[in-house]
A and B are shown apart, each in its own frame.
Chain A
Amino acid sequence: MSVQPQMPRTWRTETKPHKFCPGCGHPLVLKALSWAIEELEIEEKVVFGCDIGCSLLAWDFFNLDSVQTHHGRTTPVITGIKRVRPDLVGVAYMGDGGGYAIGSQHLVNSAMRNEKVTVILVNNTQYGMTGGQMAPTTLPNQKTETTPYGRSVEETGLPTKGPEMVASISSEGSYVARGTVSNVRQLKKYIKRALEAQLNGNFSFIEALSLCPTNWRTNAEETWKFLEDQMSKYFTVGEFKTPAQKKEG
């Protein structure tokens, strides 16, 4: 008899195995979110929204009321819910294209208005679902389908540093952090603090550094090396804004 690892309560077994590619980071982020929700015992209150792109594969992932929206539009949908149901906990889940490109105005303005929602953005340095194009987070010189000779900083600018930006515009009491799927325990802690900030009436934002072996065209070892040696060097992992202003690496 095989022993199955213990899964969080909101992990919906009926829809597993999930539809993400082998080696994808999304399921690790989603599991961290599940554990955070379970520790806070708020399953009954959470409404989960997912974007277009790979994140939409999470539409039936959880034992949570969930809605799949349009590309970049999950933040306003969850905001719209939360404005009339302040008793709920709203989670908007998206990729880097959804949050930093097509939906950047929603991210910026929901942070500025201190909407009582939690935005979780998965950074895998490119558009996964559409086949690996350059995203705002693509690293300098990184090859993608639309930067086949490597991303030129002169032509396309520098990669977006989302948490740094959001931390600089969000209100006191809000929570902003960047975690990584290479440290799920820490990521879960960040997400939990983000949900707590929402429960305390503030905006929160988490970016999670993630993996995409399919579009990076990397084997397991190279995938891990790209995350640890390149992404984590450019995108600093840690807390950028905490209600108590305490920093942690």
Chain B
Amino acid sequence: MFMAPKPIEGEKRVFMTGNEVVAWAATAAGAEIMYGYPITPQNEIMHYWTRMAPKYGRKFLQTEDEISAGFTTVGGVLAGKRAFTATAGPGNTLMQEPMSMAEMMRLPTVLVVTQRGGPSTATVIYSQQELTMTCFGGNGEGMRIVYSTSGHQDLYDYTIKAFNTAWKYRFPTFVLGDGYQSKMREPVTIYDPEARNISMVPAEAYMGNPGTPGVDRDPVHLRNTYNMEEELLKVINDNMATYESIAPEIVEYQEEEVEDAEVLLISHGIVSRAAQGAMKLLREEGFKVGYFRPITVRPFPAEQLRERAEKAKCLLVIESAYGQLKRIVTDSLYGCTTTIKSYMKPGESVTVEEVVEKVRSLY
């Protein structure tokens, strides 16, 4: 049998774009097929994947739209393969239909989102406006796992992790990046997961296993439609109970200088780099500023944030969207009396200097 070579032996320091990083990470994670449809700024994930795929025995299918890319990904997962897709903006909107099927049937799809401006076609460049949709999209209950990356090392680490989280817990899993991360180059260490003692959770087939159905084994009958309200309620309650019980194992966040923080900066994704930079500058000036960044925006590190928020005098939510993160923060902190301020720039970047200025204005 033909044994494809490993894409990476050990580890390697490289300088590449985020889209290239995602393609390498998916390859290193043992993703077996990508289903995709062109949309900016996601395209180069497909470009790099299609160049590497034949060398490592992987497959690619370019579909007729994102609906099809999502549903073929669902098919790949049903067949027991590590399957993924990637999209952005209006494509993410269309992707919500297949992702709701994955949510209902607990299918471990992996979707990389490279956020662009919204609503509608907006810009092909950048935003954080797909947070709500990626966490809670579709006619569902948000039974999803969403990692918000802040740069290229995250993109590599969390793309690999997304496959493992998805197949371990069997909920659709998302890597939430953005157009800046997609297109800029950064130094990053790419590695063979095995070299870091990361073992990949095996994928298993839902359908098409050996044996004649009804003779050697029972047939598999999968559905997402239920006849009665009571039937549906039981399925959702069971799934939600599972989701809530595993959430503490999945939740990840990053924090710095929170112990004595008067002003706590809350941000996710690439914006958190501006927040972190501002926090450092402001500390040098003597301002007691802390930094909190949810890495999993769904499930959200609500308890951890509450603990820090209750000790602060003011919270500053910073985002490249009009209050999408703020809504999650407010909901998580219900009852906490600390003032919540926001700095919102939908579809535009946030710089260190802006955050510094904003924080100074709070004093």
- A residues contacting B by CB (< 8 A) are 9-10, 12, 43-45, 47, 52, 56, 59-60, 62-70, 73, 76-85, 88, 105-106, 108-109
Confirm or deny: B68 has a beta carbon within 8 angstroms of a beta carbon on chain A: yes
Segment of B162-170, B218-226, B243-251, B333-341 engaged in the interface with chain A: B218-226
Contact of B98 among A45, A59, A73, A84 (CB under 8 A): A73
Q: By the criterion CB–CB under 8 Å, are A68 and B225 in contact? A: yes
**Whole-angstrom distance between the Cβ of B56 and the nearest chain A Cβ:** 15
Q: How large is the interface on B (under 10, 10 to 19, 20 to 34, 35 or more residues)?
A: 35 or more
Confirm or deny: B207 has a beta carbon within 8 angstroms of a beta carbon on chain A: yes
**Whole-angstrom distance between the Cβ of B247 and the nearest chain A Cβ:** 27
- Known interface pairs A63-B219, A105-B65. Does A83 touch B71 (Cβ–Cβ under 8 Å)? no
Confirm or deny: B39 has a beta carbon within 8 angstroms of a beta carbon on chain A: no
Q: By the criterion CB–CB under 8 Å, are A9 and B222 in contact? A: no
Q: Which single residue of chain B is at the shortest CB-CB distance from A15? A: B221
User: Which are the 9 A-B pairs with shortest beta-carbon distances?
Assistant: A80-B75, A63-B214, A80-B72, A76-B71, A109-B64, A65-B207, A81-B75, A68-B223, A60-B221
- Known interface pairs A80-B73, A84-B81. Does A47 touch B207 (Cβ–Cβ under 8 Å)? yes
Contacts of B221 in A (CB 8 A): 59-60, 65-66
Q: By the criterion CB–CB under 8 Å, are A69 and B101 in contact? A: yes
Q: Report how far A88 CA is from B221 CA in the complex, Å.
A: 16
**Whole-angstrom distance between the Cβ of B114 and the nearest chain A Cβ:** 22
Interface centre among B33, B75, B77, B215 (most CB of A within 10 A): B75
Contacts of A77 in B (CB 8 A): 71-72, 74-75, 78
A-B CB contact pairs (8 Å), 6 listed: A59-B225, A66-B220, A70-B71, A80-B61, A80-B71, A83-B33
Q: Report how far A43 CA is from B171 CA in the complex, Å.
A: 30
* Number of interchain pairs (Cβ within 8 Å): 138
Q: Report how far A9 CA is from B208 CA in the complex, Å.
A: 18
Contacts of A60 in B (CB 8 A): 219, 221, 223
- Known interface pairs A47-B208, A66-B220. Does A84 touch B79 (Cβ–Cβ under 8 Å)? yes
Interface centre among A47, A81, A109 (most CB of B within 10 A): A81
Contact of A69 among B71, B73, B206 (CB under 8 A): B71
- Known interface pairs A70-B71, A80-B73, A81-B78. Does A65 touch B225 (Cβ–Cβ under 8 Å)? no
Q: By the criterion CB–CB under 8 Å, are B76 and A73 in contact? A: no
Q: Report how far A84 CA is from B76 CA in the complex, Å.
A: 6
Contact of B208 among A62, A81, A108 (CB under 8 A): A81
Interface centre among A12, A60, A64, A70 (most CB of B within 10 A): A70
Q: By the criterion CB–CB under 8 Å, are A43 and B213 in contact? A: yes
Q: Report how far A62 CA is from B72 CA in the complex, Å.
A: 23
Q: Report how far A81 CA is from B76 CA in the complex, Å.
A: 5
Q: Which single residue of chain A is at the shortest CB-CB distance from B209? A: A65
Confirm or deny: B121 has a beta carbon within 8 angstroms of a beta carbon on chain A: no
Contact of A70 among B65, B79, B101 (CB under 8 A): B101
Contact of B223 among A45, A59, A76, A106 (CB under 8 A): A59
Q: Which single residue of chain B is at the shortest CB-CB distance from A88? A: B208
Q: A64-B219, A79-B72, A106-B68 are in contact. List 11 more A-B contacts (CB 8 A).
A: A9-B214, A64-B214, A65-B208, A66-B221, A67-B220, A69-B71, A77-B72, A80-B83, A81-B76, A81-B208, A84-B59
Q: By the criterion CB–CB under 8 Å, are A67 and B72 in contact? A: no
Contacts of A69 in B (CB 8 A): 71, 74, 101, 224
Q: By the criterion CB–CB under 8 Å, are B79 and A80 in contact? A: yes
Interface centre among B77, B210, B222 (most CB of A within 10 A): B222
- Known interface pairs A84-B59, A84-B81, A84-B83. Does A64 touch B72 (Cβ–Cβ under 8 Å)? no
Q: By the criterion CB–CB under 8 Å, are B64 and A85 in contact? A: no
Confirm or deny: B35 has a beta carbon within 8 angstroms of a beta carbon on chain A: yes
Q: By the criterion CB–CB under 8 Å, are B67 and A85 in contact? A: no
- Known interface pairs A12-B214, A52-B225, A68-B225. Does A80 touch B78 (Cβ–Cβ under 8 Å)? yes
Q: By the criterion CB–CB under 8 Å, are A63 and B215 in contact? A: yes
- Known interface pairs A63-B213, A66-B219, A68-B223. Does A80 touch B74 (Cβ–Cβ under 8 Å)? yes
- Known interface pairs A63-B214, A67-B207. Does A83 touch B76 (Cβ–Cβ under 8 Å)? yes
Q: Which single residue of chain A is at the shortest CB-CB distance from B222? A: A67
Q: Report how far A34 CA is from B63 CA in the complex, Å.
A: 30
Q: Report how far A44 CA is from B214 CA in the complex, Å.
A: 10
B196-240 contacts to A, CB under 8 A, are 205-215, 219-225
Q: By the criterion CB–CB under 8 Å, are A70 and B68 in contact? A: no
B49-99 contacts to A, CB under 8 A, are 59, 61, 63-65, 67-68, 71-79, 81, 83, 97-98
Q: By the criterion CB–CB under 8 Å, are A76 and B72 in contact? A: yes
Interface string of B97-130 (1 = CB under 8 A from A): 1100100000000000000000000000000000
Q: Which single residue of chain B is at the shortest CB-CB distance from A109? A: B64
Q: Report how far A73 CA is from B63 CA in the complex, Å.
A: 13
Q: By the criterion CB–CB under 8 Å, are A105 and B225 in contact? A: no
Q: Report how far A80 CA is from B207 CA in the complex, Å.
A: 12
Confirm or deny: B255 has a beta carbon within 8 angstroms of a beta carbon on chain A: no
